[in-house]
């Protein structure tokens, strides 16, 4: 019997008759069985540029394709991995679940698919999630390759990952305690407000100016919906953005996905060390 035998078929997460939390609990049980790790204490969602961090965290206990577990679907974009990795964190001895399989809102699989990873993490026992991403920067002094702490977000998707009368407080969504802890590792870390657009296209220069005027410093296509779902699931959230490009119109050069990947590669070693140091303190 494989882990998938009693898994719901891919796509069913979107069925209104399905309880997404039951699917997440089911996935967490499969995860424990496949990794031999009863409980994961912290989860990391690794976005563009952050993939190398998993190797520095500690010893990899197990790795599996996310699609082996209920509710996960195949990744859509180049540079987005599709694996779940269980790591024993060097130093603390805690277990990290590294989620290299993010579903973006723009994939059109619905908000339940977007929220699934953090819900599985919560069901697996995690109390903390570190959400990372690659994004566009609105501050000229943030050169490509600059890591930035997310202090808050503005959700411009027009959607919530929550359903029904679920009134969740989002004050201090991006935990000030965890931001302080991150600044103990690197006091120079700037922080900013992340604006999630639906994508998949990048913004127009006018939309970037709007993001600035409403209080934004970073523009991206993930993280905000995940953070809401994570808070609802009881997780403490740390958000870390890697500015991989100046947002449209901030610099005269047009945006390219290749450049985004290259900035991620170049900054990889530094941000991986940063992330590993932070996670050891969680």
Token output for 33: 């069985």
Residues 131-160 that bind ligand 8IG (CB under 6 A): 134-136
Of 3, 92, 80, nearest to 40 by C-alpha is 92
Among 103, 244, 275, 282, binds ligand 8IG (CB under 6 A): 244
Nearer to ligand 8IG, 134 or 145 (CB): 134
Least distance between ligand 8IG and beta carbon 243 (Å) = 8
* Closest approach of ligand 8IG to the CB of residue 187, in Å: 25
Task: For the CB of residue 172, give the shortest distance to ligand 8IG in the complex, in Å.
Answer: 24
Q: Say whether residue 41 binds ligand 8IG (CB under 6 A).
A: no
184 is catalytic: no
Residue 75 binds to ligand 8IG (criterion: CB under 6 A) = no
**Residue 220 binds to ligand 8IG (criterion: CB under 6 A):** yes
Instruction: Single out the segment in contact with ligand 8IG by CB under 6 A; choices: 30-38, 92-100, 175-183, 215-223.
Output: 215-223
Considering the rule CB under 6 A, would residue 114 count as an interface residue with ligand 8IG?
Answer: no
Determine the Cα–Cα distance for residues 225 and 230; give it in Å rounded to an integer: 9
Binding segment for ligand 8IG (CB under 6 A), chosen from 93-101, 104-112, 149-157, 217-225, is 217-225
| Residue 211 C-beta: closest distance to ligand 8IG, Å | 9
Query: Nearer Cβ to ligand 8IG, position 136 or 192?
Result: 136
Q: Is 76 helix (H, G, I), strand (E, B) or coil?
A: coil
List, as own/partner pairs, every contact residues 176-185 make where C-beta atoms lie below 8 angstroms and the sequence separation is at least 24, other chains included.
177/236, 178/128, 178/236, 178/237, 178/238, 178/282, 179/149, 179/151, 179/238, 181/238, 181/278, 181/281, 181/282, 182/149, 182/238, 182/240, 182/278, 183/149, 184/281, 185/274, 185/277, 185/278, 185/281
3-state secondary structure (DSSP) of residue 67? helix
Q: Which residues are 195's β-sheet partners?
A: 154, 219
Q: Which residues pair with 240 in a beta bridge?
A: 132, 149
For residue 110, the minimal CB distance to ligand 8IG (Å) is: 20
8 A C-beta contact, residue 123 and residue 24: yes
Sign of the Cα torsion 136, 142, 143, 149 reads negative
How many residues sit close enough to ligand 8IG to count as binding (CB under 6 A)? 16
Quote the crossing angle between the two packed helices 111-123 and 20-35, to the nearest 10°.
50
Q: Residue 23 CA to chain centroid, in angstroms?
A: 19
Under rule CB under 6 A, residue 260 binds ligand 8IG: yes
First to last CA, the chain: 36
Least distance to ligand 8IG, CB of residue 239, Å:
14
Which CB atom, from 142 or from 202, has the smaller least distance to ligand 8IG? 202
- Which residues participate in catalysis according to the annotation? 203
Positions touching ligand 8IG (CB under 6 A) are 48, 134-136, 197, 199, 202-203, 219-221, 244-245, 247, 255, 260
């Amino acid at each position: 019997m494989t882990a998938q035998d009693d898994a719901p078929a891919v796509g069913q997460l979107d069925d209104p008759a399905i309880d997404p939390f039951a699917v997440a609990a089911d996935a967490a049980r499969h995860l424990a069985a496949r990794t031999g790790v009863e409980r994961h204490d912290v989860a990391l969602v690794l976005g563009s540029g952050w993939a190398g961090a998993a190797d520095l965290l500690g010893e990899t206990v197990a790795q599996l394709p996310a699609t082996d577990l209920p509710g996960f679907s195949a990744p859509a974009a180049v540079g987005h991995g599709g694996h779940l990795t269980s790591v024993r964190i060097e130093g603390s001895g805690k277990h990290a679940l590294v989620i290299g399989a993010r579903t973006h809102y723009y994939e059109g699989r619905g908000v339940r698919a977007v929220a699934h990873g953090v819900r599985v993490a919560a069901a697996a026992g995690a109390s903390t999630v570190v959400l990372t991403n690659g994004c566009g920067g609105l501050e000229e002094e943030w050169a490509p390759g600059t890591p930035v702490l997310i202090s808050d977000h503005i959700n411009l998707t027009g959607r919530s990952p929550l359903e029904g009368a679920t009134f969740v407080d989002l004050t201090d969504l991006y935990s000030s305690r965890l931001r302080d802890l991150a600044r103990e590792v690197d006091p120079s870390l700037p922080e900013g407000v992340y604006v999630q657009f639906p994508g998949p296209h990048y913004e127009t220069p006018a939309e970037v100016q709007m993001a600035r005027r409403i209080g934004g410093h970073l523009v991206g296509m993930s993280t905000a919906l995940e953070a809401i779902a994570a808070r609802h699931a009881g997780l403490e959230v740390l958000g870390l953005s890697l500015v991989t490009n100046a947002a449209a119109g901030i610099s005269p050069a047009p945006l390219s996905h290749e450049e985004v990947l290259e900035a991620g590669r170049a900054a990889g070693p530094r941000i991986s060390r940063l992330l590993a140091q932070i996670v050891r303190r969680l």
